Amino acid sequence: MEKIRVLAVIPDGGNKASMIFAHRQMNSLKATSINVDIFMLKSRTSLKSLFSDMIAFRQKLAAFHPHIVHAHYGTVTSFFCALGANKPLVITFRGSDLNPVTSENAFRKGVKQVLSQLSTLRAKHIICVSQGLKKRLWWRNDEVSIIPSGIDLSIFKPLQIKCARKRLGLSLTDRIILFNVGKSPLVKRLDLAEQALKFVKSHFPNTCLVKLYGNIDPDDMPFYYNAADCLLLTSDHEGSPNVVKEAVSCNCPVVSLDVGDVRERLAGVWPSKIVTRDPVEIGRAIIKIFKLNRRSNGHNTTRAISLDRLSTKTVSIYRSML
């Protein structure tokens, strides 16, 4: 039986960590009945680069003869595929490709929204990583599956805190709050996290906020989760935040606003806490976790979102399209 050939189109963020979850997903499919090739979209802002990429994309289509093209992001990436692919198209929306981005001007936000929404008209199937993202679609809701990015449980697993901190050169005695700034401090609400930190430090002076800016080697991420006393997430909007799922899988307690699918991911996870945007409430939740001084039970709750299990769902979608 001939393997299904899938050409994944992934935006190139310029470093190893960029879109690592999409790469892991597609690589996991290689162990199934799927023949995967990846096309990296070099730029989403340069017309000259996009024109050059379109030529290369057409050449890749002719050489690989995919049955399906899978765009792993909305906006320019999905629109690029909608225009250039002459094959059935799957689009995965991941968060800021449908959610409003407060750090961008109105024109840029509007263009990105329109490109994402228009590209769905060309898609044969749509994947959203959370129910909240599905609700942001203007149309085609009947062609949507909810599949969050899967977690490789062999990578994201509990380790000894002391060993993780030694590996990263972090203090063995300080309290550590892990915070993912990414490339958008305004969207991630670093300001709110720092307000909460001030309250925490009034009770635990030796507390530090370890900020991740999206350039951390992916191989080091499990050590960060295991080194931290808790993960803090204060974003305005999210899709299905991978940092929460990865932290939970490493038994790192999580304090988060009720965004994306976080409430679902923290169901049954203790200690962890859903909070409001009040920095004092956030601070108190962190302090409570510090006082408990224990890891969570998260790893045992993540089997449903394991990379292997969710890859099986993706394969089922591919097969249904042919």
Average pLDDT over residues 2-29: 89
Q: Are residues 131 and 172 in the same domain?
A: no
Q: Are residues 165 and 87 in the same domain?
A: no
Q: Is the pLDDT of residue 15 over 80?
A: no
Q: Is the pLDDT of residue 309 over 70?
A: yes
250 located within any domain: yes
Tell me which range, 183-192, 196-205, 303-312, is most confidently predicted by mean pLDDT.
196-205
Q: Are residues 165 and 132 in the same domain?
A: no
Q: Are residues 178 and 283 in the same domain?
A: yes
Q: Are residues 175 and 140 in the same domain?
A: no
Average pLDDT over residues 107-120: 91
Contact in structure between 100 and 109 (CB atoms under 8 Å): yes
How much is the pLDDT for 258? Answer: 97
Q: Is the pLDDT of residue 69 over 70?
A: yes
184 located within any domain: yes
155 located within any domain: no
pLDDT (tens digit, 9 = 90+) per residue, 281-302? 999 999 999 999 999 999 999 9
67: domain CATH number? 3.40.50.2000
Confidence bin at 33 (pLDDT 50/70/90): confident
38 located within any domain: yes
Quick one: what percent of the chain has pLDDT higher than 70?
A: 99
Quick one: what percent of the chain has pLDDT higher than 90?
A: 84
156 located within any domain: no
Average pLDDT over residues 271-288: 98
Q: Are residues 314 and 281 in the same domain?
A: no
Per the model's pLDDT, the better-predicted residue between 289 and 100 turns out to be 289
**How far apart (Å, rounded) are the C-alpha atoms in residues 284 and 232?**
12
Q: Is the pLDDT of residue 200 over 90?
A: yes
Q: Is the pLDDT of residue 1 over 70?
A: no
Q: Is the pLDDT of residue 174 over 90?
A: yes
- Write out the residue range of the structural domain in which residue 213 sits: 161-303
Average pLDDT over residues 152-167: 97
Q: Are residues 102 and 48 in the same domain?
A: yes
Q: Is the pLDDT of residue 214 over 90?
A: no
How much is the pLDDT for 155? Answer: 96
Q: Is the pLDDT of residue 43 over 90?
A: no
Q: How many Cα atoms sit within 13 Å of 55 on the Cβ side?
A: 5
Q: Are residues 297 and 310 in the same domain?
A: no
Q: Are residues 143 and 249 in the same domain?
A: no
Confidence bin at 252 (pLDDT 50/70/90): very high
Q: Are residues 298 and 169 in the same domain?
A: yes
Q: Are residues 76 and 65 in the same domain?
A: yes
Lowest pLDDT segment from 118-127, 198-207, 209-218, 288-297: 209-218
Q: Is the pLDDT of residue 103 over 70?
A: no
Question: Tokens at residue 134, please?
Answer: 């599905």
Separation of CA 211 from chain center: 17
Q: What is the mean pLDDT of the chain?
A: 94
Confidence bin at 189 (pLDDT 50/70/90): very high
**How far apart (Å, rounded) are the C-alpha atoms in residues 117 and 8?**
19
Contact in structure between 150 and 309 (CB atoms under 8 Å): yes
108 located within any domain: yes
Q: Number of folded domains in the chain?
A: 2
132 located within any domain: yes
136 located within any domain: yes
Q: Are residues 278 and 316 in the same domain?
A: no
